[in-house]
Amino acid sequence: MLGLVPRMRGIDMSEIRNQLKSQSIQAVSPATFETVGGRIFPDEPSVLDQEALSQIVKTWQAAHSPTYGSPIGQSSQTFTGTGAGGEAEVDVVTATKSQVYRVQGIAVANAGGGAPVVCKVLIGDCPLVMDLTGAPSTTTPFPLSQPVFVDLNSPLKFAVLSGTAGDAQLLVNAIKVSQ
């Protein structure tokens, strides 16, 4: 708990520590510091509050910064989406709230035996791949040359540009990352 941080200059608790004392360091978000800290004025009680806030922020950073952007163990999964007709875009990976996924692999599977399927893959509305082609009755991987991240505002989606849409399936392996 944040209220259990050692006393400063013989004072048991600053106003900021008092307001945050019931929260654990895991539950505190950066927005909490702004809400509780508010405007700080340079009088004696505020100097103590600034020092307390600085200690709390450093404690939060020590717990969270070393792992920022690192994969979260046992959180990877393979997402699938089946093509829709008329070049309609299908969401395959959609994060919720503050989740962020790092895409580890993308492949298109063509269940049809007759013709290839050609797909486009997008992050939000930005094209990632414009001509991912899957031969009949195969699964074709797409090599990722850079990290690809998915969040609430940028889902990974795909659309079938040619071929039988119902035969196309996009496979995406992604893992959550800490933030």
What CATH number does residue 100 fall under?
2.60.120
* Range of the structural domain that residue 89 is part of: 77-176
Note whether 148 and 128 are within 8 A (CB).
yes
pLDDT surpasses 70 at 45: no
pTM of the model: 0.67
Distance, CA of 127 to CA of 138 (rounded, Å): 23
Which residues are registered as beta bridge partners of 108? 140, 170
What pLDDT score does 49 carry?
76
Q: Are residues 128 and 154 in the same domain?
A: yes
Q: Examine the fold and report which residue of 48, 67, 86 is the final residue of a domain before the chain moves on.
A: 67
Whether residue 72 lies inside any domain: the answer is no
pLDDT surpasses 90 at 15: no
pLDDT surpasses 60 at 37: no
- Greater confidence, 149 or 21? 149
What pLDDT score does 162 carry?
95
144 Cβ contact partners less than 8 Å away, ≥ 6 residues apart: 103, 104, 105, 106
The total number of residues written for the chain in this structure: 179
Whether residue 11 lies inside any domain: the answer is yes
Number of domains the chain is built from = 2
What pLDDT score does 100 carry?
94
Minimum mean pLDDT range among 28-32, 113-117, 145-149: 28-32
Backbone CA torsion sign across 69, 129, 133, 86: positive
Distance, CA of 65 to CA of 128 (rounded, Å): 29
CA 179 to chain centroid: 7
pLDDT classification of 41: cutoffs 50, 70, 90: low
Whether residue 167 lies inside any domain: the answer is yes
Distance, CA of 64 to CA of 118 (rounded, Å): 42
Ranked by mean pLDDT, which of 12-16, 28-32, 107-111, 143-147 comes out on top? 107-111
What pLDDT score does 2 carry?
47
What value does the mean pLDDT of the chain take?
A: 83
Note whether 80 and 92 are within 8 A (CB).
yes
Q: Are residues 129 and 96 in the same domain?
A: yes
Q: Examine the fold and report which residue of 41, 67, 93 is the final residue of a domain before the chain moves on.
A: 67
The angle subtended at Cα 3 by Cα 1 and Cα 67, nearest 5°, is: 45
